[in-house]
Amino acid sequence: DSTRTLPSVLPGDLLGGRAATERLIQAGRKRIAIINGQKGVDASRDRLKGYRQALSSNDIPFDPALVRPGNWEPSTGYSMTHELMALDNPPDAIFCANDLMALGCFDALRELGKSIPDDVAVIGFDDREIAQHTHPALTTLILPHYEMGEISAELLIDSVGGLLATPNQIKVECVMVERDSVEKSEENA
């Protein structure tokens, strides 16, 4: 049947955005900013939605001044962090919608004389290899490429065998990798 479509396998960006924001709240942060990805991109929309859900469920008012658009590049993380920290009431935490923007955020905070995580906690998304080599090491969420590929391959095999009875979209959990940019670990405290 040529009209049959295969489901898509995507990262759970909404739950990931929520988990990232919840982690910052857990660390005692109340003014949480987000440097998001480009408008019109599903990952950006869903990560922002998760951010807003976490704030709402923790009775933290949403402040549009703490939301900044990005383009997934370090330069955006850098410039948007400068904008955020220039606010009359700057954030005490920044959720960067990817690790590359978090690198730029780190540079800007250092330039402003801010300590991570003491003054400002930072969390990323994607778990790029560089995340473990930053100082402090970046807490981030894994973009589950391997798991998504594994599920996609299983679905493809099932579809060839006529066994496909799955939803249109399958979301794969983005697991958090705790490092030192939200709270210092015991060994680094």
Helix boundaries (H) for the chain: 13-26, 42-57, 74-85, 99-111, 145-160
For 125-136, the pLDDT digits (tens) are 999 999 999 999
Q: Cα(108)–Cα(89) distance, rounded to whole angstroms? A: 17
Is the per-residue pLDDT at 59 higher than 90?
yes
Q: Region 2-27: what's the mean pLDDT?
A: 80
Which residue has 């290899």 as its token pair? 129
Identify the pLDDT of residue 22: 96
State the pLDDT at residue 173: 75
User: If you compute the radius of gyration of the chain from its CA atoms, what whole number of angstroms results?
Assistant: 18
SS3 assignment, position 41: coil
How far is 124 from 102, CA to CA, in rounded Å?
A: 6
Superfamily for 8-188? Response regulator (3.40.50.2300)
**Mean of the pLDDT values across residues 42-61?**
96
Where are the domains positioned within the chain? 8-188
pTM of the model as a whole: 0.84
pLDDT at 157 over 90: no
